[in-house]
Structure 1
Amino acid sequence: MKKYTYTLENLNCAHCASKIESKIADTQGFENVSFNFATKILSFSSENPDSLLQIQQICDSIEDGVTVVDSSKKTKEKQSGIINADTVMLIVAIVLGVAAFVLHLVLPENQTYSTVILLILSVAATLLSGYKIFIKGIKNAVKLKIDETVLLAVAVIAAFCLGEFVEAAMVTILFSLGEFIEDIAVDASRRDIEKLAQIRPDTATIVKDGIDTVVPAESVKTGSIITVKPYERLPLDGVVTKGKSTLDTSALTGESLPVDITVGSEVMSGAINGNGLIEIRTTKEYGNSTASRILQLVEEASARKGQKEKLITRFASIYTPIVIIIAAAIAFIPPLLGLGEFTEWIYRALVCLVASCPCAIVISVPLSYYSGIGAASKIGVLIKGGKYIEALAKADSFVFDKTGTLTSGRLEVENIITFGTYGESEVLALAAACEKHSVHPVATAIKKKAENLKLPQLSDYSESAGHGTSAVYNGKKLECGGIKILNDEQKKLAGNASVFVVYDGELIGALSVSDTVRAESQEVISKLKKLGVKNTVMLTGDSKSNVDKVSEKLGLDKCYSNLLPSDKLDKVEEIKTHSKAVCFVGDGINDAPVLSASDCGIAMGLGSEAAIEASDAVLSSGNLVKLPDAIKLSRRVMRTVKTNIIFALTIKAAVIILAAFGIASMWMSVIADTGVSVACVLYAARLLKSK
């Protein structure tokens, strides 16, 4: 099986798009089929090398004018301006339609010349604004495919037959105008979404034999030296080998503050260089760079549809036949019962059919999810699909790993306790001198704490795994290590300290060394509780004493210590039994099983490959700052989806009921169709502008 990605150009009907997607999925030889209406990207897996031709045939059988293009070979399309031949004809049609409407009000009725003038103006306005709709409607009718174009064509012809010339013209103009505005709104949303691709430059300036050469970024091999000029985007990940500057990483992490870089600094593709010229040794190829991974995550997000997206697809397939049955009942049952003329009830049925088109929902719901995913990526949160937006929105339990998530993962000396006549500085200096040659993380923390102190000279250094270090100071033994270096009497004085200093057999001091809490953790936990999160939990393999201190400082509801990865998994499963949804936030490889098991697993940063692959969302900045924003945005997406569904169905139901009673006219049905579609699309697209 090979993965293919095609662009379906000129496909502007969301209902038709869902039919194409379903038909391809039901065709033998195609798997993992997903179509993103927002970007017009169709992706699937197939063994068929002639899949493009087969896809084109499927599209032609459902929607005329759709062109299937290989996305890898697609060139950037030129933006055709809003003013073109069709726009000019629509403007002329509107002028003629308004003229016909005014004359209809002022000319005397039942006069031949009045009828002829209104007929000429109405026919001209109808053909100018709707000739494409009628052609498409006729083709669809021949294929026995009933859609809004067929219904509109039938309704307009019926209106002309009934002598309602002006109404027929105005209905066609309103429909075309609505389609025009809807296309502009959807295209604007697509352009906003496509702007994400601008974070990945297509070219790189490679340095070879002292000469700068611009080459395609995808051709640059790992280990190559590239030059990045001031204010250019970095095309590839790497390490700075020459120069110093600042980087704007806001497109990747959502952080607005620039990052200082110098020789040895690791840098990510997609960041914008400041005012310094830098050289970088590349560490990843184009396809595996940070910018490429971000784009891939966002593009693949559409394949993981939310429950409401799936529901809408099923809804559209059931809804249309039901509405046709209702319209048929309205058209034939009342006149057969002697409640009026057939022409009157058929007209009412046509109003129902035009009003009932589900396009408003079919377009706006997927667009809402994808707009939310695009908006989240702008703030440095990569959400991998609509189903995870739903989980984030309703989650009432957030479970955190400790090290590297709630804490920085860097050990620091928090407290120094002295015994006897020794002062804190003396104890710290002796401990640092004793740990001088050790590379243990605890030793590193002690040496960092004492970096401004003058250390005494020691001799005969030695280190024992699990015990600590020792040396000779002024002819006497100096030891620095864990509780194992203490005798029973000294252990009674130990308290909660983790490192002890023993000189000549006497306990002279103790140091509390622990992981430091992230600066933002306390505020983030507080914000989660204000957002209504009922359960904040920490799971870690660390000792209970360290865990309790962190938990108390952050105000967590529960914490569990001394856990193995399998224990964490069991705890998450237990928490899921009494929660609406559970989100787990972690950063390590050992967190991958728990990230997969939770309703929405959130990885910290773009570090561990295993964690990112197993996660459902990524905090690309590597900190928790944007987590509350992601929750608020997810809830806003879900409110938008629900609002659009309720609004569209309410308006359509109202017009259908009014039509059944003869109150709603054809122009009202057009507003219930295209007017509601435009409103829903614009309401969904505003998510992309979220701050």
Structure 2
Amino acid sequence: MKKYKINNLDCQACSIKIEDNLKRLGIVKDVSIDFATQTILLDTEDIDKVQQVIDKIEPGVFISESISDNYQGKFSKQFKCDQKFRNEKSSFLTNIISFMKQKKRLFILIALLSGYIIGLILKSRILIETKSKFVYFMSNYIIFIIIYMLSGYEIIIQAIKNLLKGGFFDENLLMSLASIGAFIVGAPEEASAVMLLYNIGLYLEDLTIDHSRKSIKALLELKPEYATVLEQNEQIKMFPSEVKIGQVVLVKIGEKIPCDGTVIEGNSYIDASMLTGESIPIFVKENSNVLAGTINMSGILKIKVTKTFQESSINRIMEIVENATHKKAKTELFFNNFARVYTPIVFIIAIITAIISVLFFNQSVTESLYRACVILVISCPCALVISVPLSYFAGLGAASKKGILIKGSNLLDALTDVETVVFDKTGTLTEGKFKVSHIMAQKGYSEKQILEYAAYCEFYSNHPIANSIRNYYYEIFHKNTIDTTRIKSYKEIPGLGVSAIIDGNHVVAGNAKLLNQKIFSRDNVINSFNKENGMNYNNNKISDTTVYISINDKYAGCLIILDNIKKDSKTAI
């Protein structure tokens, strides 16, 4: 199954028609067209034959290059800056052109709507002031005919094309017949209104699709842009999809890891929140496994690639997001099939209504034709064919904007039957932002002293917990900086904590694993604090993000770092 770009699709009905015809081909094993993203998932060995069939169904619609692989080509160090500039320039120009096209369409619709309103005003004034039927006829028709042709010519042309190809019953034909009938019965303003309002509806639908598409694309920005491969003492930059298993990549501070692999040199904290939702950085060292898309935060890493980018977790997530709209819900499939039966039934009902009105209710031909036109307009299947898939696409886009991955439209329906929900805690029910909630100080030290030693010891660390300690220090001491001249011999102990000489005192700040080896027992710390302060803390209150402080190799206290629960978590649950 490969994914292709399909161009010049005008409507949802066209995509349904093409999809149905391709499914009947023996050379096509499976096919799914998504009108919103203008893509087609296709499993076939003869793409040329598929294109020939599409040409017969919808001339002008064509399949372009495969977009299964987002990366192509290679670039050197010297080319990197030029490539980045061209990409930014291209993106900027593309955005400008897209903006102008979108606004041009909006301005045209506003102009047509204004012309329509002016036409209604002129019609009422001329009707009162003139006695000439010819003048009234010309003023009544000429403005509305212009508005009608400008807003509806594409629909009429498409209806004619469908008739020539044998595709008789569709929304284009219904709209064309209804509007032409309105002209025949002497209601040109209603004929032009039908086409104008239809175009305004399409414009609003396109805006919704574009908004949802941008939300989905924004979620895909977590993919790594390039990889720095080490070959014969040279650093070669290439796209992640070109990196082979066994090659060694260099990842500097702040860069995204390009492929899944194993660390062979260096240690660092990595931010995996975009993949796992865990806001606490993960410490990695030699022989640690790392995932593509995670961010290197504190040290230089050399990583031996164990999986190609196409097999990586991040690429699988991207494919899930990009192809979500191809997994159609039962409701979508039902309305797509229903429209094919519904449209000819509406057409037949309109004809029967016109005949019955004349034969059995003694109505004029003009009035009966008018009633038939009304049925054709109000019963047009566009609302069903377009709005149902559009609502699912908008739902997927809204979820993506909030960072929620949904594997397909079918799963949106499945959510209505959910009875049990399992939540991740950090960053989901909690804010993912750490804050010092309490300070435990041993005899001989105050809480402010423990906080001050901790803030100075953690000053050079970029770990989120270190940031929370410094921020709390600034808040309590009403300062916005730290006197770095008091800090000497700073040392980071990977995965455990930090140490420094502060005002001549050897201070260590770290986790229980670091300090427990030398000077204290976790249970003893808790029992001692409860006894001294008359409190009842227990092991559950002391979280894994507690920072323990020792001064001159003696336990001095600890800081409890908690992640606050979101205000709307209770409502969400």
- Shorter-chain TM-score bucket reads 0.5 to 0.7
Closer, same or farther: CA 222–356 of 1 in aligned 2, 3 Å:
same
Partner of 1:67 in structure 2?
62
User: Is the Cα contact below 8 Å between 1:93 and 1:126 reproduced in 2?
Assistant: no
Closer, same or farther: CA 174–367 of 1 in aligned 2, 3 Å:
closer
Within 2, Cα distance between the matches of 1:271 and 1:190? Answer: 24
> Where does 1:437-586 land on structure 2 (aligned, <5 Å)?
452=517
Q: 2:152 aligns with which of 103, 117, 130?
A: 130
Is 1:101 matched up with 2:123? no
Q: 1:270 aligns with which of 275, 293, 311?
A: 293
Within 2, Cα distance between the matches of 1:164 and 1:393? Answer: 46
Report % sequence identity: 36
Task: Give the Å deviation of 1:204.
Answer: 1.4
Partner of 1:678 in structure 2?
none
User: Is the Cα contact below 8 Å between 2:174 and 2:347 reproduced in 1?
Assistant: no
Secondary structure at the aligned position of 2:63 is classed as strand
Partner of 1:235 in structure 2?
258
Partner deviation per Cα, 1:404-443 (whole Å, 9 max, x = no partner): xxxxxxxxxxxxxxxxxxxxxxxxxxxxxxxxxxxxxxxx
Partner of 2:37 in structure 1?
39
Secondary structure at the aligned position of 2:67 is classed as helix
User: Is the Cα contact below 8 Å between 1:298 and 1:374 reproduced in 2?
Assistant: no
Q: 1:252 aligns with which of 272, 275, 292?
A: 275
TM-score (norm 1): 0.53
Partner of 2:213 in structure 1?
190
Within 1, Cα distance between the matches of 2:302 and 2:345? Answer: 65
Secondary structure at the aligned position of 2:127 is classed as coil
Within 1, Cα distance between the matches of 2:206 and 2:421? Answer: 40
Within 2, Cα distance between the matches of 1:108 and 1:373? Answer: 52
Letter in 2 for 1:119: Y
Letter in 2 for 1:97: Y
User: Is the Cα contact below 8 Å between 1:251 and 1:378 reproduced in 2?
Assistant: no
Within 1, Cα distance between the matches of 2:391 and 2:416? Answer: 14
Partner of 1:213 in structure 2?
236
Task: Give the Å deviation of 1:147.
Answer: 2.2
Within 1, Cα distance between the matches of 2:218 and 2:146? Answer: 41
Within 1, Cα distance between the matches of 2:343 and 2:135? Answer: 42
Within 1, Cα distance between the matches of 2:58 and 2:105? Answer: 20
Task: Give the Å deviation of 1:87.
Answer: 5.0
Is 1:354 matched up with 2:377? yes
User: Is the Cα contact below 8 Å between 2:250 and 2:300 reproduced in 1?
Assistant: yes
Q: Aligned residues, how many? A: 412
Within 2, Cα distance between the matches of 1:219 and 1:266? Answer: 20
Letter in 1 for 2:375: C
Secondary structure at the aligned position of 1:81 is classed as helix
Partner of 2:51 in structure 1?
56
Partner of 2:444 in structure 1?
none
Is 1:119 matched up with 2:138? no
Within 1, Cα distance between the matches of 2:229 and 2:180? Answer: 65
User: Is the Cα contact below 8 Å between 1:252 and 1:380 reproduced in 2?
Assistant: no
Task: Give the Å deviation of 1:82.
Answer: 4.3
Closer, same or farther: CA 93–265 of 1 in aligned 2, 3 Å:
same
Partner deviation per Cα, 1:242-289 (whole Å, 9 max, x = no partner): 445443433323444544444444322122343654332222111101
Secondary structure at the aligned position of 2:257 is classed as coil
Within 2, Cα distance between the matches of 1:275 and 1:364? Answer: 48
Closer, same or farther: CA 389–87 of 1 in aligned 2, 3 Å:
closer
Partner of 1:568 in structure 2?
none
User: Is the Cα contact below 8 Å between 1:298 and 1:384 reproduced in 2?
Assistant: yes
Partner of 1:310 in structure 2?
333
Q: 2:386 aligns with which of 363, 377, 381?
A: 363
Within 1, Cα distance between the matches of 2:321 and 2:49? Answer: 27
The runs of 5 or more residues in structure 2 that have no matched partner are: 71-89, 424-512, 520-539, 545-564
Partner of 1:81 in structure 2?
98
Closer, same or farther: CA 339–82 of 1 in aligned 2, 3 Å:
farther
Letter in 2 for 1:26: R
Within 1, Cα distance between the matches of 2:119 and 2:312? Answer: 61
Q: Which moved more, 1:378-387 or 1:167-176?
A: 378-387
Closer, same or farther: CA 253–11 of 1 in aligned 2, 3 Å:
farther
Task: Give the Å deviation of 1:116.
Answer: 1.9
Closer, same or farther: CA 224–377 of 1 in aligned 2, 3 Å:
farther
Partner deviation per Cα, 1:578-608 (whole Å, 9 max, x = no partner): xxxxxxxxxxxxxxxxxxxxxxxxxxxxxxx
Within 2, Cα distance between the matches of 1:172 and 1:368? Answer: 23
Task: Give the Å deviation of 1:148.
Answer: 2.3
Partner deviation per Cα, 1:129-158 (whole Å, 9 max, x = no partner): 222222222222333433222222222222
Within 1, Cα distance between the matches of 2:119 and 2:403? Answer: 54
User: Is the Cα contact below 8 Å between 2:215 and 2:398 reproduced in 1?
Assistant: no
Closer, same or farther: CA 6–311 of 1 in aligned 2, 3 Å:
same
Within 2, Cα distance between the matches of 1:365 and 1:282? Answer: 44
User: Is the Cα contact below 8 Å between 2:216 and 2:401 reproduced in 1?
Assistant: no
Closer, same or farther: CA 108–11 of 1 in aligned 2, 3 Å:
same
Task: Give the Å deviation of 1:115.
Answer: 3.0
Secondary structure at the aligned position of 2:172 is classed as helix
User: Is the Cα contact below 8 Å between 2:212 and 2:397 reproduced in 1?
Assistant: no
> Where does 1:288-303 land on structure 2 (aligned, <5 Å)?
288-303=311-326
Question: Aligned Cα RMSD in Å?
Answer: 3.8
Within 1, Cα distance between the matches of 2:319 and 2:219? Answer: 11
TM-score (norm 2): 0.63
Runs (4+) off by over 6 Å: 73-77, 377-381, 397-400
User: Is the Cα contact below 8 Å between 1:328 and 1:349 reproduced in 2?
Assistant: yes
Letter in 1 for 2:49: Q
User: Is the Cα contact below 8 Å between 1:250 and 1:380 reproduced in 2?
Assistant: no
User: Is the Cα contact below 8 Å between 1:246 and 1:259 reproduced in 2?
Assistant: yes
User: Is the Cα contact below 8 Å between 1:253 and 1:381 reproduced in 2?
Assistant: no
Closer, same or farther: CA 181–263 of 1 in aligned 2, 3 Å:
same
Closer, same or farther: CA 157–74 of 1 in aligned 2, 3 Å:
farther
Q: 2:188 aligns with which of 165, 171, 186?
A: 165
Is 1:224 matched up with 2:260? no
Secondary structure at the aligned position of 1:83 is classed as helix
The runs of 5 or more residues in structure 1 that have no matched partner are: 401-447, 455-515, 521-624, 634-691
User: Is the Cα contact below 8 Å between 1:309 and 1:366 reproduced in 2?
Assistant: yes
> Where does 1:387-466 land on structure 2 (aligned, <5 Å)?
387-396=410-419, 452=517
User: Is the Cα contact below 8 Å between 2:159 and 2:173 reproduced in 1?
Assistant: yes
